[in-house]
């Protein structure tokens, strides 16, 4: 008997038909991939299974019986748990309190905290249960979501981009967990744009394009190219990584030492790095090792940097505001899309005003025509699937919103672009497009600093790499001289024994 079956499920939104007579079958103990480009309807389909969205037509069957899943509480009662791509956590509550909210109230908060610690240790998903969520990095928040789902002992576990902000080591641990759950009879629905993961983990795959099922295959017998053709109708374009032509030092960080702002943060310890015009410097590291604190100091969100510790074109900007830094050519893409990169309830047009203020007159009037025109151009240039410039940011799929936010900053022609997690939750075609745009910006003479927990991405686009661990930064190494094994070792802070020739000559 099938554990879960969707029969001719459809869902219409005002601007798009997200699902069009979709069929899906999942057996007990099966790890089933759902693959599709951004906006293909994957997340909508998962939300209907979980009761967060109601289908317009069609039938959901659970253990062979038709069911009407009216809300997530009913889904959890059936044994369905979901880890969302966009986190559903309360920032002001602790990790344990967030997990407790998702469980029945037969357990006390203290019991949940104790069980959560056991689950984290068993599955290798370390996160402090007592830390407020607002102090966690996106990778740590992802772990909280996964732990919360695992603690419900699900019969069907839905994972929407669960590894998008996890390191390779954490991904390997998660795969061990998922295979163990599947061996015990749990059905797993797995959404990911990482084709290597799907081929390594999943036994079946349903492919969506434009809200319709375009194929059902065994991913273990398919190549990445074959899966890409099913998903986007073509193979992703090959990136052209030209020889870097280095210019002047654009960003010069020296002796950046900052105490953590709260007990759960990370101290920055004598951070030093340089980025030149015409190159991409990548920062690798396990989530929660100081990336957030460093990005806040470089972007101006944290104004406490010691004078002289951050220089742009030789000028001290350590105490400059984010707005002033933008005027001086520094643009920034934060790791958190909704809430920091974009205001969820505002239109795409109005979201351009967060960092692009030329359409605002000196008297404070907004030239709406200019704002709309910019949004239309970004939608066109970066192939964003949206209901036009008036569409609310929260109405876009995660990948399409990411393309819009990254595009907004690239289009500003920055002199220095700092990007955190540039292709988080983005399909293979869109990821190739974003990476190509970043390389194009570099070839035009821009300096780029890219923070990513995807080592493959860093090796693909970066000219040099550094590793951040426990608030310290390693020497830099040319990407051509680095290996995944070496960078993985450095992520534990073990770079002091590295040969000095690894360091990049800083003129």
Does residue 385 belong to any structural domain of this protein?
A: yes
Query: What size, in residues, is the chain?
Result: 507
| 204-209 sheet: strands from edge to edge | 80-83, 156-160, 187-191, 31-36, 204-209, 212-217
Tell me the C-alpha distance between 456 and 20, whole Å: 34
Longest dimension (CA), the chain: 70
Q: Are residues 262 and 290 in the same domain?
A: yes
Query: Roughly what angle, to the nearest 10 degrees, separates helices 398-410 and 368-381?
Result: 110
Last residue of a domain, one of 370, 393, 413: 413
Q: Are residues 395 and 318 in the same domain?
A: no
Does residue 281 belong to any structural domain of this protein?
A: yes
Q: Are residues 313 and 351 in the same domain?
A: no
Q: Are residues 44 and 161 in the same domain?
A: yes
Does residue 453 belong to any structural domain of this protein?
A: yes
Q: What's the number of domains the chain is made of?
A: 3
Does residue 336 belong to any structural domain of this protein?
A: no
Lookup: tokens for 357: 């203020």
Q: Are residues 206 and 294 in the same domain?
A: no
Last residue of a domain, one of 200, 232, 264: 232
Q: Are residues 282 and 363 in the same domain?
A: no
Does residue 335 belong to any structural domain of this protein?
A: no
- Averaged over successive runs of 10 residues, the pLDDT of the chain (507 residues) comes to 94 88 96 90 92 94 95 92 83 92 84 89 81 84 86 91 73 86 94 89 93 92 86 76 91 96 88 98 90 95 95 97 96 90 96 91 90 96 91 88 94 96 83 91 97 90 96 96 90 70 42
Which residue carries 């030492």 as its tokens?
Answer: 257
Last residue of a domain, one of 369, 390, 413: 413
CATH number of the domain enclosing 16: 3.40.50.300
Burial class (CB in 10 A: 0-12, 13-18, 19+), 279: buried
- What is the extent of the structural domain holding 407? 341-413
Which residue carries 């075609």 as its tokens?
Answer: 429
Does residue 421 belong to any structural domain of this protein?
A: yes
Would you state the pLDDT for residue 419? 97
Would you state the pLDDT for residue 497? 55
Q: Are residues 134 and 225 in the same domain?
A: yes
* Per-position DSSP letters for 13-48, written without gaps between them: -SS-EEEEEEEEEE-TT-EEEEEE-TTSSHHHHHHH
Q: Are residues 482 and 387 in the same domain?
A: no
Would you state the pLDDT for residue 432? 87
| Dihedrals phi, psi of 41, to nearest 5 degrees | 110, 10
Does residue 354 belong to any structural domain of this protein?
A: yes
Pick from 247, 248, 270, 250: which is nearest to 258 by CA? 270
Q: Using an 8 Å Cβ cutoff, are 456 and 369 in contact?
A: no
Tell me the C-alpha distance between 435 and 441, whole Å: 10
Q: Are residues 176 and 34 in the same domain?
A: yes
| Dihedrals phi, psi of 143, to nearest 5 degrees | -65, -40
- Region of residue 171 (phi > 0: left; psi between -120 and 50: alpha; otherwise: beta): alpha
Q: Are residues 78 and 209 in the same domain?
A: yes
Would you state the pLDDT for residue 358? 85
Q: Are residues 369 and 442 in the same domain?
A: no
Would you state the pLDDT for residue 500? 43
- Region of residue 342 (phi > 0: left; psi between -120 and 50: alpha; otherwise: beta): beta
Does residue 334 belong to any structural domain of this protein?
A: no
Half-sphere exposure of 131 (CA within 13 A, CB side): 19
**Could you tell me where the beta strands, DSSP code E, fall in 421-500?**
447-451, 464-469, 472-473, 477-478
Q: Are residues 63 and 156 in the same domain?
A: yes
Q: Using an 8 Å Cβ cutoff, are 276 and 291 in contact?
A: no
């Amino acid at each position: 008997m099938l554990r879960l079956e969707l029969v001719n499920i459809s869902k219409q939104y005002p601007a798009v038909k997200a699902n069009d007579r979709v069929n899906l079958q999942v057996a007990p103990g099966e790890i089933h991939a759902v693959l599709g480009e951004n906006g293909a309807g994957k997340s909508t389909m998962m939300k209907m299974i979980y009761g967060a969205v109601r289908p317009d037509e069609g039938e959901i069957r659970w253990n062979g019986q038709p069911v009407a899943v009216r809300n997530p509480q009913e889904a959890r009662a059936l044994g369905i748990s979901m880890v969302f791509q966009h986190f559903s956590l309360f920032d002001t509550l602790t990790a344990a309190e967030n997990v407790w909210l998702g469980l029945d109230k037969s357990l006390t908060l203290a019991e949940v905290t104790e069980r959560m610690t056991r689950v984290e240790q068993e599955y290798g998903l370390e996160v402090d249960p007592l830390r407020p969520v607002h102090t966690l990095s996106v990778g740590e928040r992802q772990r909280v979501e996964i732990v919360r789902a695992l603690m419900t002992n699900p019969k069907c576990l839905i994972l929407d981009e669960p590894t998008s902000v996890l390191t390779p080591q954490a991904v390997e641990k998660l795969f061990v967990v998922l295979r163990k759950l599947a061996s015990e009879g749990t059905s797993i629905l797995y959404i990911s744009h990482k084709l290597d993961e799907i081929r390594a983990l999943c036994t079946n795959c349903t492919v969506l394009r434009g809200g319709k099922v375009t194929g059902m295959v065994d991913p273990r017998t398919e190549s990445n190219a074959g899966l890409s053709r099913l998903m986007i109708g073509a193979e992703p374009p090959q990136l052209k990584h030209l020889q870097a032509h280095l210019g002047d030092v654009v960003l010069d960080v020296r002796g950046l030492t900052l105490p953590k702002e709260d007990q759960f943060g990370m101290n920055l310890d004598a951070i030093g790095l340089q980025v030149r015009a015409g190159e991409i410097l990548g920062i690798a590291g396990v989530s929660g090792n100081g990336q957030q604190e460093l990005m806040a100091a470089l972007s101006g969100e944290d104004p406490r940097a010691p004078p002289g510790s951050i220089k742009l074109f030789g000028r001290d900007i350590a105490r400059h505001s984010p707005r002033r830094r933008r005027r001086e050519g520094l643009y920034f893409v934060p790791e958190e899309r909704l809430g920091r990169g974009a205001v969820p309830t505002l239109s795409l047009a109005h979201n351009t005003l967060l960092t692009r203020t030329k359409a605002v007159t000196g008297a404070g009037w907004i030239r709406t025509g200019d704002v709309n025109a910019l949004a239309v151009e970004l939608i066109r240039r970066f192939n964003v699937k949206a209901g036009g410039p008036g569409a609310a940011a929260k109405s876009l799929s995660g990948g399409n919103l990411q393309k819009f936010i990254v595009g907004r900053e690239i289009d500003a022609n920055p002199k220095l672009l700092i990007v955190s997690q540039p292709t988080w939750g983005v399909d293979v075609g869109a990821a190739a497009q974003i990476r190509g745009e970043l390389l194009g910006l570099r070839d035009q003479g821009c300096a780029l600093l890219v923070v990513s927990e995807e080592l493959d991405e860093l090796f693909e686009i970066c000219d040099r790499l550094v590793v951040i661990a426990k608030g310290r930064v390693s020497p830099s190494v040319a990407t051509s001289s680095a290996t995944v094994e070496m960078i993985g070792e450095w992520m534990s802070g073990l770079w002091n024994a590295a040969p000095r020739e690894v360091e990049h000559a800083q003129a």
